[in-house]
């Protein structure tokens, strides 16, 4: 219990203190309404965070593992592929962020297409790649070949797609794997991997499924962009900013709460329903396990609702406000530094990051420590946010200027680092660009862009998630390189 408290404080306090520090240093000050909301929001996060992690541990992980058992037990490749596709499709289609991005795509098209078409396209891409990812684990195809191939495909499609699509397409990499999908898919992949293991070396092969799935969604959208190239593209509409000022604290909180309850129920439902169906026919869980899953699902639900309400209630408006004020200081280094620091501290508060890191430590039996991955990721995101702030301030800096070198470097690194780091890097990219990035970094950047000359809020506000997703991939691959060099040195020392 003590450990849980410590983990929670270490996760939520940095971001809270950082905002308070800026507030009291009077570079930018929050008014009393925003400050109260921010503090209450942080309190909600501290309550929700440990509950959610505990619930996930008890329930979502167990369901993912049982599902993997059902798939593997069938002993038929076709079942694994179909099952992987269906699960990937459903989990992705239930992701709230996917709907937000689909609406943006739908708005980009002149014909007034329904956003559901884009949800279908993205989910189909995601599901297909999840199926391929499971196939890869069973057939034991080396991660480096697989990853290099999909990254190369992404690079090629990027060259041909309509420019307006690029930012949003790569943003979907971060949007596809939310807080509930992350533990479920991780457990599914780890389960499949450990049930078809032939030697102990293969522990390294269980990661990467989240990243591979997200690549699928990006590829699907890029293809759509190629098909739509040349067609007229609608001007981006104004962002429908939530007007929070008119509501008092109670009303505003209630409104958020209703939204979050909807969001979390939608995210949990495909997993619960597909598990219920599988449990009736194939899994036959024990009574004890069922009790744990039901109890855990309730705890997960409560924890996530409280956590997310806190984030939306207190953090969204506060960070947007700070962004607007910092843009007006007129000195470029202030928004840049604050952006970098915000990037650093949001990673600590992202629940999915903790889930991924815990799984990494567990699967590698502690040879890759949680803290190492956390800090590498945090540095990557800090760099990413700094770069995206720079992009807002300097209009000539386009998103392709970051994406193309990053992709090329990532492909090259795939052949230099140990396989496990490639999977971890791909997963981590999607995980880092989760809820916290969308609810804290994005509004900060939008606030900045609103008060920066020459930066149109929507065109430049987009692509930030893409930065947060792709720069950490590089930082983790770099960590892999360091591990390899270190391991090489100690092996040499033994030889001599």
Partner 1 sequence: MDKEITETLKTPNTLMVGVVTRGQGSRMMNLLRRRGAHYAVCTFAEGTVPGHILKMLQLAKTKKELVLAFINDEIEDNCYRGLSMDLKIEQPGHGVAFSIPLCGNPTAPEKTELSGALIIVDKGKGEDVLDVFDDLGLRGGTMLSAYGGASIAKILFDMPVQPEKEVVFLVTPSEKIKEMLTSLETELQMSEPNQGIAVTFAISRSIGLFTEAKKGS
Instruction: Give me the residues that bind partner 1 (CB under 8 A), please.
Output: 3, 54, 58, 72, 75, 77, 138-139, 194-200, 286, 288, 291-292, 295-296, 362, 365-366
Strand partners, 109: 233
Q: How far is the CB of 138 from partner 1 (least distance, A)?
A: 6
Question: Rounded to the nearest 10 degrees, how much is the dihedral formed by the CA atoms of 245, 249, 252, 255?
Answer: -170
Report in angstroms how near the CB of residue 97 gets to partner 1 at its nearest: 30
Nearer to partner 1, 42 or 358 (CB): 358
Considering the complex, what minimum distance in angstroms separates the CB of residue 64 from partner 1? 15
Closest separation between CB of residue 71 and partner 1, Å? 11
Give the nearest distance from C-beta 262 to partner 1 in angstroms. Answer: 27
Closest CA to 431 of 335, 358, 339: 358
In terms of CB distance, is 55 or 174 closer to partner 1? Answer: 55
| Closer of 259 and 361 to partner 1 (Cβ) | 361
User: Which residue lies nearer to partner 1 by CB, 280 or 365?
Assistant: 365
> Between residues 139 and 494, which has the closer beta carbon with respect to partner 1?
139
Rounded Cα distance, 44 and 439, in Å: 15
Token duo for residue 355 = 């889930």
Burial class (CB in 10 A: 0-12, 13-18, 19+), 287: exposed
Residue placing its CB nearer to partner 1 in the complex, 222 or 374: 374
CB of 487 to partner 1, least distance (A): 18
The distance of closest approach from Cβ of residue 450 to partner 1 in the complex, given in angstroms and rounded to an integer, is 45
- Pick the closer one to partner 1 by CB: 35 or 138: 138
CB of 196 to partner 1, least distance (A): 5
Q: Which is nearer to partner 1, 54 or 329 (CB)?
A: 54
How is residue 440 annotated by DSSP?
I
Torsion sign across C-alpha atoms 420, 52, 134, 195: positive
Shortest reach from residue 58's CB to partner 1, in Å: 6
Is 195 or 255 the residue whose CB approaches partner 1 more closely? 195
> Judged by CB, which is closer to partner 1: 135, or 266?
135
Closest CB 73 distance from partner 1, rounded Å: 8
Tokens found for residue 118: 């884009």
DSSP, collapsed to helix, strand or coil, labels residue 59 as: helix
């Amino acid at each position: 219990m003590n450990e849980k408290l410590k983990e929670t404080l270490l996760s939520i306090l940095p971001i809270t203190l950082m905002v308070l520090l800026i507030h009291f240093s009077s570079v930018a000050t929050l008014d009393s309404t925003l400050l109260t909301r921010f503090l209450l929001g942080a309190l909600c996060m501290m309550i929700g965070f440990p509950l959610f992690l505990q619930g996930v541990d008890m329930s979502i992980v167990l369901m993912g593992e049982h599902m993997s058992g059902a798939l593997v037990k069938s002993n038929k490749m076709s079942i694994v592929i179909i099952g992987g596709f269906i699960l990937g499709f459903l989990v992705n289609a239930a992701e709230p962020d996917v709907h937000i991005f689909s609406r943006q795509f739908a708005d980009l098209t002149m014909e007034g297409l329904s956003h559901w078409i884009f949800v279908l396209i993205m989910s189909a891409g995601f599901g297909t790649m999840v199926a391929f990812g499971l196939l890869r684990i069973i057939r034991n195809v080396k991660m480096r070949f697989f990853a290099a191939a999909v990254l190369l495909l992404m690079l090629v499609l990027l060259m041909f797609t309509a420019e307006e699509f690029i930012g949003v397409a790569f943003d979907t990499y971060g949007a596809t794997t939310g807080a509930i999908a992350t533990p479920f898919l991780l457990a599914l992949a780890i389960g499949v991997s450990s049930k078809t293991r032939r030697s102990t070396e293969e522990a390294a092969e269980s990661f990467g499924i989240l990243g591979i799935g997200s690549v699928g969604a990006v590829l699907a959208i890029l293809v759509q962009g190629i098909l739509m190239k040349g067609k007229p593209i609608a001007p981006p509409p104004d962002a429908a900013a939530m007007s929070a000022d008119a509501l008092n604290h109670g009303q505003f909180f209630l409104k958020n709460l209703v939204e979050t309850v909807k969001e979390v129920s939608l995210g949990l439902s495909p997993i619960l329903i597909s598990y219920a169906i599988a449990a009736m026919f194939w899994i036959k869980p024990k009574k004890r396990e069922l009790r744990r899953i039901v109890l855990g699902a309730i705890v997960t639900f409560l924890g996530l609702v409280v956590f997310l309400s806190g984030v939306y209630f207190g953090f969204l408006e506060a960070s947007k406000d700070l962004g607007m004020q910092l843009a007006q200081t007129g000195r470029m280094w202030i928004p840049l530094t604050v952006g970098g620091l915000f990037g650093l501290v949001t990673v600590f508060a992202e629940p999915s990051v903790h889930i991924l890191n815990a799984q990494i430590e567990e699967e590698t039996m502690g040879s890759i420590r949680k803290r190492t991955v956390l800090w590498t990721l945090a540095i990557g995101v800090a760099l990413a946010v700094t770069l995206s702030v720079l992009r807002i301030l300097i209009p000539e800096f386009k998103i392709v200027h970051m994406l193309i070198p990053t992709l090329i470097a990532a492909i090259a690194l795939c052949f230099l680092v140990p396989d496990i780091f490639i999977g971890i890097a791909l997963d981590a990219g999607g995980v880092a660009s989760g809820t916290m990035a969308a609810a804290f970094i994005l509004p900060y950047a939008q606030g900045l862009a609103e008060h920066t000359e020459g930066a149109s809020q929507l065109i430049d506000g987009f692509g930030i998630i893409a930065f947060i997703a792709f720069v950490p991939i590089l930082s983790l691959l770099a960590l892999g390189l360091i591990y390899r060099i270190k391991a090489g040195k100690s092996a040499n020392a033994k030889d001599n």
